[in-house]
Amino acid sequence: MSSYSSSNGRFRSRLSRKKWGAPVVAGGALGLILLVTVVSKVFWGGGDTDLDLPPPRKTGTQHDLPDPSQPHYPGAGSSTTLSAVDELFERQSQTLEQAAARYRLKTDRNPPRGYDKWFEYAREKRCLVDDYDQIYRDFAPFYQLADKRESEKNAEKFFPQMVKAVGALIHEENIGMRTFTMQEHRLGTADEWTSNYDELWNTTLTQLGPSLPDFKLIINHRDEPRIAFDVRALSPEVAFKPEDKAPFRNAPKPTSKFYTDDGHCLVPNDPRGFLTWANGASSFLLYSASADFTTDLYPVLSQSKIYPCFSDILFPSPFHYKRSSSHPKYSKPDNVGWAKKRSVLYWRGQSTGGWIYGENYRSFPRFRLIDIAREPKNAGLMDVAITAFYTWFCQLEGCDGEKISKEYNITGENAPREEVYNYKYVLDVDGNAFSGRYLGLLASGSLVFKSTLFTEYFHDWLQPFEHYIPVRPDLSDLAERVRWAKAHDEEARRIQKAGKEFVDRVMTDAQNDCYFYLVLLEWARLHAGGH
């Protein structure tokens, strides 16, 4: 019944666990074909491939012809007016050779072992084949270190060494992370902890098991990123000799000191930079609900991170799987036509964000949202409310929960998730970390306004102004953007439709599986000491 019960659940179970720190793709087809031809020559000529691929075709011209034996992607070639999603599917590699060549062009490496099976899987499941730049970026530092180490004789391999180290920590105590092992295609674990998402990960990994190489996987099951390591500062000394004396146990109180005062994570309030820092508007950076980070480059899979100060390896969150109980599902499809929706921005949610200390909550985005909506000049623009106050975060000295609840009119009244159908504009805004509702909101019939500091794995795919309206972390441009939408209804509708089409057709459970699967292949190669 409660529309936010899932985030409630994830949060509570986290608290109940033991220790809780007290309070592009390439464009021109012809150019690509030429490139592919050249690159695949290099590729096939190379001797150090760890990919078992069939020999290349005899003629180079076959690349530009659709292969009738391949599954037909939705909408592909069906009409002259292709949607952006049709075009996205159309430009995906049609053959393994083409996909491998594109992979190599982007990464300067051969695809990992098992890529041929992955390619078949991706085609069969109608997944994207080429657009995995986020994966390449996330693994790039580890590959660079692996390459560097390769030249040092007898040096212990960085990646497996770090997996071993963090695995030992997890074995000792509950640090909000889990291990999964794959051995001869059988799933296991090396720890005894549990997480809310075990069932989803267990099912997914078991299903993929027959195609997966051996590995030991480290998954951070908290929503917050954990690897507070900026790879732009990567130097061999730092990375090779872990220096963090309390990895995954760093929880400065408040966290703002570490991120802001000590300069470990200064994030501009606007992607174009130069205006102000967003640090003062992020509850996570101000006083994290859950910090427990490390300052060394451990390989860990996480659901979100803040660029560029975190180096977690991203993978799909359980909040993005329809088959997961965490998915923000609607009980019925949108039954309110666009013209009947109110031209008002709607938001409901809990007071999650971080530890309340002094007046800092006024800077947390969810409280800030209420303040902005109440400004006289914004009257009638927004219908927003905090539905529940998280008393857990109100334990530090001086926090008066009653006073805050009264001030922000937190009545405990919940609203069904389907309420969004009555509004043209909906907001997605950070809680303790990313909200988990984003894809759900995009799938509703409303236009999504998104304000976040967190990057999720689909960051490159869902584009600002094309699929959603971006809003600064401090929400200072929110009212202005809502006014724009009201004044440009057709444009607003176009963005809403594009966002919904993308989510309905691309962001499928199968696509999540394809992404996770490719992450696992990269992980397995590095874990086996490859580079």
- Which of these ranges, 93-101, 186-194, 226-234, 375-383, lies near ligand NAG under the rule CB under 6 A? 186-194
Helices (H), 125-211: 133-150, 158-172, 198-208
- 189 is a site residue for ligand NAG (CB under 6 A): yes
- Which of these ranges, 245-253, 332-340, 409-417, 425-433, lies near ligand NAG under the rule CB under 6 A? 409-417
Closer residue to ligand NAG in complex, CB, 1/30: 1
Give, as ranges, the residues between 364 and 403 that touch ligand NAG (CB under 6 A). Answer: 385
Residue from 36, 187, 313, 426 binding ligand NAG (CB under 6 A): 187
CA angle 154, 530, 93 (to 5 degrees): 160
Closer residue to ligand NAG in complex, CB, 193/361: 193
CB of 203 to ligand NAG, least distance (A): 8
Own/partner pairs, 165-172, CB within 8 angstroms, 24+ separation: 165/242, 165/247, 165/298, 166/218, 166/247, 166/248, 166/298, 166/299, 166/300, 167/216, 167/218, 169/247, 169/248, 170/218
Closer residue to ligand NAG in complex, CB, 172/192: 192
Closer residue to ligand NAG in complex, CB, 189/463: 189
Give, as ranges, the residues between 199 and 258 that touch ligand NAG (CB under 6 A). Answer: 202
- 411 is a site residue for ligand NAG (CB under 6 A): yes
CB of 202 to ligand NAG, least distance (A): 4
Residue from 71, 74, 77, 188 binding ligand NAG (CB under 6 A): 188
What is the spatial distance between Cα 432 and Cα 224, in angstroms, rounded to a whole number?
Answer: 7
158-172 vs 509-527: helix crossing angle, rounded to 10: 110
The position carrying tokens 């034996």 is: 69
CB of 407 to ligand NAG, least distance (A): 10
Give, as ranges, the residues between 155 and 184 that touch ligand NAG (CB under 6 A). Answer: 180
Own/partner pairs, 241-244, CB within 8 angstroms, 24+ separation: 242/162, 242/165, 242/296, 242/298, 243/295, 243/296, 244/294, 244/295, 244/296
- 194 is a site residue for ligand NAG (CB under 6 A): no
The two three-digit tokens of residue 319, written as one number: 């909040």
Ramachandran area for residue 211 (φ above 0: left; ψ -120 to 50: alpha; else beta)? alpha
Task: Give me Rg for the CA atoms of the chain.
Answer: 24
Residue count at the site for ligand NAG (CB under 6 A)?
Answer: 10
What is the spatial distance between Cα 416 and Cα 101, in angstroms, rounded to a whole number?
Answer: 48
CB of 409 to ligand NAG, least distance (A): 4
Closer residue to ligand NAG in complex, CB, 205/267: 205
CB of 17 to ligand NAG, least distance (A): 16
> Site residues (CB under 6 A) for ligand NAG?
180, 187-189, 198, 202, 385, 409, 411, 413
